[in-house]
A and B are shown apart, each in its own frame.
Chain A
Amino acid sequence: MKTWWRQSSLYTQLSIVSVTVLSIIILGLSYSSLQTQKTALFSKLQADANIMAKNVAFSSQYPLISNKLDNLENLLLSAARYPDVLNLQVMTPQGNNLGHITILDSGKIKIIYDLSPNLIPLKFSSNKRHITQTKHKLSIWQPIHNSTHIGWVLLEINLKPYQVIQKKLALDTFVNGFIIILLNLIILLGVLFFPLRQLSKAIEFSQKLINMPGKTLDLQGGSKEVNQLISTLNKASAQLKIQDDKIANTNTLLEQKIATRTKNLQETNKRLILLQHAIEQSHSSLLITDNLHVITYVNPALEKLSGYSEMELIGMTPSALKSANNELDVIEPITQILNDGNEWIGEFVNQRKDGSDYWVRSIISPVKNDQGEITNFIAIEDDISGNKKFEHELHQHANYDILTGLPNRKLGLDILQKAILNTQNHHSKMAILFLDLDRFKNINDTVGHHVGDLALIEAADRILGCLRPQDSVARLGGDEFLIILQDIMDTTKLDTLLKNIETELTKPYLLEDREHILGASIGIAISPDDSDNASDLLRQADSAMYTAKRNGRGQHQFYTQSIADKVLHKSQMTAALYHAIEQNEFTLLYQPIMDLHKEKITHCEALIRWNSPHLGSIGPDIFIPIAEESVLIIDIGYWVIRQACRDAKKWDIQTISVNIASAQLREAEFIQTLKTILEEEAFPANKLCMELTEHSLMEDVSSIRKSLQALVKMKVQLSIDDFGTGYSSLSYLKHFPCRFIKIDKSFIDDVAINREDASLVDAIIHMGHALSRTIIAEGVETEAQLNKVKSQGCDYVQGYFISKPLSAHAFEKLIHV
């Protein structure tokens, strides 16, 4: 309903509204006026009738009184002529007619002479007029008085004419009303017809306007508003035309520009296509990334080389191609250089999709836009796997024995040189073994060189199998091998290794279904004991080997006797140690540890010394390893703890450090026994510090972890000794709950003069501080060293420059000064 109204024309709306409103108003007014008229009419009618009745009554007086019935009749006849009189009677008070006039329907007047008396309603009093009304008749009973009641006038008025008039009035009124409404409507719509028609023409025009700019509507509006609308539309039309023309012009210009541009583009396109072909067909691999190093394009050559499809590579970074077998991390440095806007040229190893590696020589360049901003990186790579392979082979050929795969003489000597240097740096010992296979010539002579080769290969393998990671073996030539054993601190280790090698090599060789027995003659030189010169050592080892061969083959011979002696003495020493504890042959010395910030002695380290009556003064570096091979280390360890507690009980220091072997921590009773000792000696656990070497920690961490955790729980301090010499990973350090880190002497030695050592120390200090540990520098022997480590932020120093290890008495004196 409501949408219909909103969409209907103005004309319709006006019509409907006008009709409705006018109808309501006019019909309403008509009705009310009609009612008023009706009432008025009837009132008048009644009033007139009353007056007439009264008049008749009045006029009848004389005829009645004088009994002039003819006059009465005349009177009635004339009164009856009044309109709408139906019946007029004058009668006696009793109701006897004295005159009776009736008007027939035809309008004819009839005189009635009827003697039958009228029934005067009983309730009529003779004092007043009585009016009764039926549907069509109004009856007025008017009494005739002349001081007394002398008669009645009965006047009956026909209401039909009145009703007819009424109806006619009503009809007229309503007809008038309708006419008024109609006229109004006609006038209204007439007036509006023209403007509205012009308006719809204008609307039509406006709709067509869009398609026919420039056309004007030449029309009179019929009203101000429509005129304005038409004139505006015409203006708009003109405007549209102008704009249309403008657009047409612009279009023409644009088309020209487009033609020119298209031509340019086509030329550019040709060039691009050419370039594209060049890239796609190039033999070099091409890779393009965006400025965030995300691959956006690879050429077919790269696809072929890498085994990946373009689809697989797009969206990845070039690091996805890198092989894990790169020696160095190549990604970080390259990225840095490139991001700085520089070119990088270099080689690295990539990995194919099938997992195989290949070497590439790569030129990676940044690509900049006109504003100088890097938008892309482009890498041109050439497969140099072939070259590399060749290089490798060359290298191999130059340095390795083809038969056994072991380093050849050249490389072997290189290794030896390096090993000597390393040993010097670490103040450790190394052994070189000159090994000659026994009865090798036999095989060659009897079964042939090819079996001999097989024997050599087998022997090489067996030797390798006996070595530790830090050891090396090279084939010097023929059946001679050079074995380099590094980090031989204790001769027992050497002993074990020698034994292993000899055992292995003496095992039968099954070569071409025949068993052969070989042996080995080994000459041993120790560095730095025997020499710190490579050629000297070789010579010494060689001569030792000849001695072994002279002595009957299948044995080894040391160049220096003292070592041998030492080896021989191992068992003697063990026995002596056994009694050392009960016979009080051990003493503890205390080396002060100074606080660099406070410049005060606040800690000390307990160091054991053995004065054997039989063997003399033996340093802990000799007897401790022997003790560690047996259970003696446990008891010695406990003795050290107990003695340290007793001595340090009264001292005003924060901690006293005691060296602990991993074997002690592995012992099941260790924690309980420690607790007992501390209780017995009434020594606070937090004043005790336990030093473990980095080496021992690395050896078997899991089994000693429990003990460490227990120690921590007890509030015993922990310290890592000789830090930097082991292979501990830094992440392990994070987990090891030590308070102190003792930088190994080897780093401190050259800290003041060697930049690398200084950097390393600096690094250790910073790292240690970062992990909230306290750093102690060991082996500080010069002022320069002290100042250096102090400047680097080291917390404590220990060494000969501060004090040599002191007796308990001396130490006590020192700190109480």
Chain B
Amino acid sequence: MNLKRIALIASLMSFTCVTFAESFTWSVVPQFTSSAIHHDWTPILKELEKRTGHTFTLKIYETFNEFETDFLVGKSDFSYMNPYHILMAKQTQNYTPLIRDEKSQLTGILVSRRGSNIQTLSDLQNQKIAFAAPNAFAASLYMQALLKNKEHIDITPYYAGSHSNAYRQVLTGQTQAAGGVYRTLTKEPPEAQAALQVIYKTPSTAAHAIVVHPRVSAKIQIEIQQAILDLTQTKKGQNLLNAILIPKPVKASYQQDYQVLEQLNLTPIVYGQ
């Protein structure tokens, strides 16, 4: 840990020394398809570049696995991740949450095909359920923990790689149900939504946030933070924020918003499970 702390301080220091145009990497969790993520995030980053003068390079990942691997070694300067990832990132690299949406909460859902014989949770006993990724926080991690510990439903998880694919697994009958979140479900085409029904949901938690690596100088952090917050001023900025699902950005705090999740004792599914 010391080594890490030293590195962090060092990078912080290096950052505070220089405050003119810099380039930063920005990764986004593959909650959606790469193209969707690219589509949603590129405009706002461009706007931030304009406003701050810095350059941001968007990093997109196909799988959760890849995404996690990278942030665990602190590859990106900025990142947008789910709450569990925030825990992991804090613990490993000390990424700190910068911005989160004021209102939105994450609620994990279980969906089955409308009209199928999976109507209640009990119907899912020993069934195959598709999840986007093991560590998709609300959709997978929290959901599976609840199913196992609280609901005592044994299931066979299938990791589809993305929410979209997870839904399609159930839609095409490959699995009986899929775990997701509302925000991803609502992004599905109406036919898909019409063909699915929610049969279970988790308690809501705090949603995704933009986190920053400590190597980024505090000055810049604040700069970026402020820039994002300023986006609400304009309609264009607002739209940009809507696209990344942070319609009402507020300053995020680890202690206030996410620390509590530590108590859930969520174990990563991704390793060795």
Residues of A within 8 A of B (CB): 66-74, 96-99, 110-113, 115
B232 close to A (CB within 8 Å):
no
Residue in B35, B165, B192, B195 whose CB lies within 8 Å of A68: B165
Tell whether, in the assembled complex, residue A69 and residue B189 are in contact, meaning their CB atoms are under 8 Å apart. Answer: no
Q: A67-B160, A74-B33, A74-B35 are in contact. Are A113 and B172 (CB under 8 A)?
A: yes
B259 close to A (CB within 8 Å):
no
| Bound CA–CA A96/B168 (angstroms) | 13
CB distance from B33 to the nearest CB of A (A): 6
| Bound CA–CA A71/B33 (angstroms) | 8
B224 close to A (CB within 8 Å):
no
CB distance from B161 to the nearest CB of A (A): 6
Residue in A69, A111, A112, A113 whose CB lies within 8 Å of B165: A69
Tell whether, in the assembled complex, residue A113 and residue B192 are in contact, meaning their CB atoms are under 8 Å apart. Answer: yes
Residue in A66, A69, A71 whose CB lies within 8 Å of B172: A69
**B168: A residues at CB distance < 8 A:** 69-70, 72-73
Q: A67-B174, A73-B168, A98-B172 are in contact. Are A112 and B191 (CB under 8 A)?
A: yes
| Bound CA–CA A528/B19 (angstroms) | 215
Tell whether, in the assembled complex, residue A70 and residue B162 are in contact, meaning their CB atoms are under 8 Å apart. Answer: yes
Tell whether, in the assembled complex, residue A111 and residue B160 are in contact, meaning their CB atoms are under 8 Å apart. Answer: no
CB distance from B121 to the nearest CB of A (A): 22
Closest chain B residue to A92 by CB distance?
Answer: B172
| Bound CA–CA A96/B162 (angstroms) | 22
B169 close to A (CB within 8 Å):
yes
Tell whether, in the assembled complex, residue B173 and residue A111 are in contact, meaning their CB atoms are under 8 Å apart. Answer: no
Docked complex: B158-186 residues within 8 A CB-CB of A: 160-162, 164-165, 167-169, 171-174
Tell whether, in the assembled complex, residue B191 and residue A71 are in contact, meaning their CB atoms are under 8 Å apart. Answer: no
CB distance from B117 to the nearest CB of A (A): 12
Closest 4 CB pairs of A and B: A70-B164, A69-B168, A70-B165, A113-B195
B15-40 CB mask vs A (1 if < 8 Å, else 0) is 00000000000000000010100000
CB distance from B89 to the nearest CB of A (A): 26
Residues of B within 8 A of A (CB): 33, 35, 113, 160-162, 164-165, 167-169, 171-174, 189, 191-192, 195
| Bound CA–CA A97/B161 (angstroms) | 20
Tell whether, in the assembled complex, residue B191 and residue A70 are in contact, meaning their CB atoms are under 8 Å apart. Answer: no
**A66: B residues at CB distance < 8 A:** 161
Q: A97-B172, A113-B171 are in contact. Are A71 and B192 (CB under 8 A)?
A: no
| Most chain A CB inside 10 Å of its own CB: which residue of B113, B162, B164, B172 | B172
Q: A69-B165, A70-B165, A74-B33 are in contact. Are A110 and B191 (CB under 8 A)?
A: yes
| Bound CA–CA A680/B258 (angstroms) | 206
| Bound CA–CA A535/B189 (angstroms) | 193
Q: A74-B33, A74-B35, A111-B189 are in contact. Are A69 and B174 (CB under 8 A)?
A: yes
| Bound CA–CA A71/B172 (angstroms) | 14
Tell whether, in the assembled complex, residue B173 and residue A96 are in contact, meaning their CB atoms are under 8 Å apart. Answer: yes
**A69: B residues at CB distance < 8 A:** 160, 164-165, 168-169, 171-172, 174
Residue in B160, B172, B195 whose CB lies within 8 Å of A96: B172
Question: Could you write out 5 A-B pairs with CB less than 8 Å apart?
Answer: A70-B160, A71-B33, A71-B165, A73-B164, A73-B168
CB distance from B30 to the nearest CB of A (A): 11
| Bound CA–CA A72/B189 (angstroms) | 14
Tell whether, in the assembled complex, residue A115 and residue B173 are in contact, meaning their CB atoms are under 8 Å apart. Answer: yes
Closest chain B residue to A68 by CB distance?
Answer: B165
CB distance from A562 to the nearest CB of B (A): 195
CB distance from A60 to the nearest CB of B (A): 13
**A110: B residues at CB distance < 8 A:** 191
CB distance from A70 to the nearest CB of B (A): 3
**B171: A residues at CB distance < 8 A:** 69, 113
| Bound CA–CA A68/B159 (angstroms) | 11
**B173: A residues at CB distance < 8 A:** 96, 115
CB distance from B197 to the nearest CB of A (A): 13
| Most chain A CB inside 10 Å of its own CB: which residue of B33, B171, B192 | B171
| Bound CA–CA A73/B36 (angstroms) | 14
CB distance from B18 to the nearest CB of A (A): 42
CB distance from B196 to the nearest CB of A (A): 9
| Bound CA–CA A98/B160 (angstroms) | 14
Q: A111-B191, A111-B192, A112-B191 are in contact. Are A68 and B161 (CB under 8 A)?
A: yes
**A73: B residues at CB distance < 8 A:** 164, 168
**A96: B residues at CB distance < 8 A:** 172-173
**B192: A residues at CB distance < 8 A:** 111, 113
**A70: B residues at CB distance < 8 A:** 33, 160, 162, 164-165, 167-168
| Bound CA–CA A112/B194 (angstroms) | 10
**B167: A residues at CB distance < 8 A:** 70
CB distance from A108 to the nearest CB of B (A): 11
20 other contacts beyond A68-B165, A70-B165, with CB at 8 A cut-off? A66-B161, A68-B160, A69-B164, A69-B172, A69-B174, A70-B160, A70-B164, A70-B167, A70-B168, A71-B33, A72-B168, A96-B172, A99-B172, A110-B191, A111-B189, A111-B192, A113-B171, A113-B172, A113-B191, A115-B173
| Bound CA–CA A703/B189 (angstroms) | 165
Q: A97-B172, A113-B172 are in contact. Are A67 and B191 (CB under 8 A)?
A: no
| Bound CA–CA A620/B38 (angstroms) | 192
CB distance from B69 to the nearest CB of A (A): 19
CB distance from B271 to the nearest CB of A (A): 22
**A68: B residues at CB distance < 8 A:** 160-162, 165
**B164: A residues at CB distance < 8 A:** 69-70, 73
| Bound CA–CA A110/B113 (angstroms) | 18
| Bound CA–CA A53/B70 (angstroms) | 38
Closest chain B residue to A109 by CB distance?
Answer: B189
| Bound CA–CA A760/B153 (angstroms) | 191
